[in-house]
Structure 1
Amino acid sequence: MQVAKPVGRKAPALKYDILSALGVAALAGDKHRQRLVLRLMVLITTRYNWQSNELSIGRAEIARLWAVDERTVKRETAKMRSAGWLEVKRAGVKGRVTVYALNLEALLDETTETWQTIGPDFAARMQERHGGAGGAEADASGDPKVIPFQPRARSETTEGVWGQVLADLRSRFPAQASAWYEQLSEMEHQDGRVTLAAPTRFVADYVTTHLLPQLLGAYCVIDPAVRRVDVVPVKM
């Protein structure tokens, strides 16, 4: 996915679209995910510098904004880093707070399934700007307003049971297959249990939380003996 920076004349519209996608995606999740995304949105709207991609704020100030104690801040920001939403840009030292960067690619990956929920015009606009599931990605070379990310590898000739499962998922759920399933590979398949490898912990957690029933169902169609599917990260 290529993520267009929300700068320039169209910056306000781009920012509203990103925040809208985050809000709708949060409401589609459980109460814990809703609260986590809401807290991130508060940081974005109050302290995030879109142009420099910096979130510079101390733990005590975050605690005031969230109306929680600093232990909760430490725990919740750790979850955001684990999910891939926040990255430490400059570690905090005595007298200076930690500076975070926002991983827009990971955040937009969280929201792709909700773009159509907001509306077909919104989905088309987001796909045109940022790529993603079902969207064409433009060449970003030489364009300072586009942040290029390494594209996901896609294998059309995956063999074995996983190859059949992936082909079925591509035919029935093309958006999810493009965004998520094509990043997985089969590590182990025996005694009714399948272990799939994901490139990052974020991908493994997302598939496990949101897509596991769909994934298990596809496996059972090809191999009825499968009773369990685990998705594990190859990189933490």
Structure 2
Amino acid sequence: MQSMQIRKLVGRGSATRKYDLLTVLGTYALSQDRSLQRQVLRLICLLTARYNWQSDQLSVGQAEIARLWSVDPRTVKREMAAFRDMGWLVEKRPAARGRVTLYGLGMARIITDTRGTWEKVGPDLVARMDDNLPEVPGADSGYVMGGGAQGAEVIPFPQSLPDEPAAQLWADMARQLHAENAGTYQAWFAALRPAEQPGYLVLHAPGGYHATYIRTHLMARLEAALARVAPGLGVMIAG
């Protein structure tokens, strides 16, 4: 499916589709906080300068990216890890001696995360981008449909069992967080896993950067969502 989506970005009409992708990335970024805006701008700059649209390949050394972004190599390492965590970049080949990491675009995840902002550009873009929507498995009681009748996306929410109050709390919070901002939910909240601790809901992140980003930028949203379903309970991020 990933290769099919990339092939739609080459060949006849490909120039329009490339600009559409860059447009939705920019529109999505402008709907987010300043930190995420800067992060997405860096990706747009990198794609425009070095991404090979025909082969779906991005192969650039950290030193070159640092010059392009006017940052130090440590920032590059952190940001590229963030794009992998988000699913926007997919590692095709790891770095080795004399060879840099080879990435491809995580088109399915980019499309899913930015879908909520397409209508801000216009119905013509929505119609074109709908052709690139990823296929998703059938829905069950743990899924909700979003995006309207055409080009609907299936959003998985955490499943809860009667003996898992933490999972139930997180499922209730997840629906609120997705309703507030689907893109942020998919990028940062969807991967969290709940656990219980006296007085707290503990959410386990998939990695250290993921956890740090949420603590720094998104804790207020989590706390507000938890306060609506379980007043007096605290929330902690582990990872």
1:179-236 residue CA offsets vs partner (Å, 9 max, x unmatched): 5466544212422x2112345668756765665434322321222112x323445xxx
Q: How many Å apart are 1:19 and its aligned residue?
A: 0.9
Is residue 220 of structure 2 the alignment partner of residue 213 of structure 1?
yes
TM-score, normalised relative to structure 2: 0.65
Q: How does 1:95-174 map to 2 (within 5 A)?
A: 95-119=98-122, 122-123=125-126, 125-127=128-130, 129-131=132-134, 134-135=146-147, 154=157, 158-159=161-162, 160=165, 162-163=167-168, 166-167=171-172, 170=175, 173-174=178-179
SS in 1 for 2:54: coil
Higher relative contact order (CA 8 A, sep 6+): 1
Equivalent in the alignment of 1:230:
236
SS in 2 for 1:56: coil
Q: How does 1:8-47 map to 2 (within 5 A)?
A: 8-47=11-50
Q: CA RMSD in A?
A: 4.1
SS in 2 for 1:83: helix
Of residues 201, 204, 209, the one that matches 1:197 is: 204
May I ask how many residue pairs the two structures share in their alignment? 216
Is residue 199 of structure 2 the alignment partner of residue 187 of structure 1?
no
Equivalent in the alignment of 1:83:
83
Distance in 1, Cα, partners of 2:63 & 2:190: 41
TM-score, normalised relative to structure 1: 0.65
Q: How many Å apart are 1:41 and its aligned residue?
A: 1.4
State the identity as a percent.
36
Gaps (5+ residues) in structure 1? 139-150
